[in-house]
């Protein structure tokens, strides 16, 4: 059942196309308090995760036509945009989420296929234009959180989990961590360096905050093992 007629939500899930996300992680996000927005063929993944879709946006150049018809018949709000446009489907979906009142947005999928689109999506979620909302992403089994200057994020996991902190748009200053094996105490992570790569969670909870700049806090999930024959 659609949730679109309920009180405006404070959280939104945006399901993108590309490589199928970790369905178990994605499905765990859904609740009656969350609005679900699909961008084009992200509707396929949303269906697989069992999401109740509220809004579909995009140019719909990659969604199966039958599925789009089914969404419209089910009363899903559909925002059609031309293929030739100045914004990606992800940007369109985030703008819809904000207009719907969301202040916490989680993007699911949106990687794989064209590497330029994957990079573009990472820069979009970390845009200063969205610094007023809490932005997160699930990329395959990786969990990503965006932290802007003056803010922070607290997350849970398992001891030994890898945590990487990547500065974007320039240097990140006043970076502080709590609960990580290699602590940062008000230090600067310079753009284009790897100082923040491969830290480790000490217990079940950790916090990352910073004074200025923007960072991606990435928990990459299980490491892919490759045998001597090059097979995973």
Query: What are the domain boundaries of the chain?
Result: 11-140, 146-219
Strands, E assignment, the chain: 11-15, 34-39, 55-58, 77-80, 104-108, 134-139, 142-148, 152-156, 162-178, 185-189, 199-200, 205-209, 212-219
pLDDT on residue 218: 95
pLDDT, position 93 = 95
**pLDDT score for 119:** 82
Count other C-beta atoms under 10 Å from residue 170's C-beta: 12
Q: Which stretch, 40-54, 142-156, 212-226, has highest mean pLDDT? A: 142-156
pLDDT at 220: 86
Could you say which architecture CATH assigns to the domain 146-219?
Sandwich (2.60)
* β-pair type (152-156, 205-209): antiparallel
DSSP of 14-63: EE-SSSPP-HHHHHTT--TTEEEEEETTHHHHHHHTT----EEEE--SSS
CB 147 within 8 A of CB 130: no
Of 82-86, 98-102, 144-148, 209-213, least confident by mean pLDDT is 82-86
Burial class (CB in 10 A: 0-12, 13-18, 19+), 95: middle
pLDDT at position 83, please?
75
Q: What is the mean pLDDT of residues 144-156?
A: 95
Q: Check for a shared fold between 11-140 and 146-219.
A: no
Q: What is the DSSP letter of 180?
A: B
Q: Which two three-digit tokens encode residue 31?
A: 């609740």
pLDDT tens sequence across 94-140: 999 999 999 999 998 876 666 787 788 889 999 999 999 999 998 77
Reference 140, options 7, 19, 6; nearest CA is: 19
Confidence of residue 82 (pLDDT cuts 50, 70, 90): confident
Taking residues 80-103, what's their average pLDDT? 88
What is the spatial distance between Cα 22 and Cα 167, in angstroms, rounded to a whole number? 25
**CA 221 – CA 140 distance, rounded (Å):** 9
Q: Which CATH number fits domain 11-140: 3.90.1150.10, 3.40.50.2300, 3.40.50.10240, 2.60.120.40?
A: 3.40.50.10240
Residue-wise pLDDT for 178-232, tens only, equals 999 999 999 999 999 999 999 999 999 999 999 999 999 999 875 544 344 545 4
Local confidence band at 23 (pLDDT 50, 70, 90 cut-offs): low
Task: Indicate the SS3 state at residue 225.
Answer: coil
């Amino acid at each position: 059942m659609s949730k679109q007629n309920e009180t405006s939500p404070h959280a939104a899930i945006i399901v993108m196309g590309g490589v199928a996300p970790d369905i178990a992680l994605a499905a765990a996000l859904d609740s009656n308090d969350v609005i679900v927005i699909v961008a084009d063929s992200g509707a396929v993944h949303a269906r697989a995760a069992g999401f109740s879709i509220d809004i579909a946006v995009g140019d719909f150049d990659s969604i199966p036509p039958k599925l789009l018809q089914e969404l419209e018949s089910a009363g899903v709000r559909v925002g059609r945009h031309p293929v030739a446009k100045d914004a990606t489907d992800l940007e369109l979906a985030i703008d819809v989420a904000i207009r719907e009142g969301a202040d916490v947005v989680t993007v699911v999928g949106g990687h794989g296929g064209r590497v330029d689109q994957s990079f573009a999506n990472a820069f979009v979620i970390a845009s200063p234009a969205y610094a007023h909302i809490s932005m997160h992403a699930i990329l395959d089994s990786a969990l990503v959180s965006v932290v802007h200057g003056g803010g922070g994020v607290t997350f849970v996991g398992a001891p030994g989990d890898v945590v990487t902190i990547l500065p974007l748009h320039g240097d990140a200053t006043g970076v502080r961590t709590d609960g990580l094996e290699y602590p940062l105490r008000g230090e600067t992570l310079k753009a284009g360096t790897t100082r923040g790569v491969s830290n480790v969670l000490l217990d079940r909870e950790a916090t990352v905050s910073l004074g200025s700049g923007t960072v991606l806090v990435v928990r990459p999930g299980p490491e892919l093992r490759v045998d001597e024959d090059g097979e995973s």
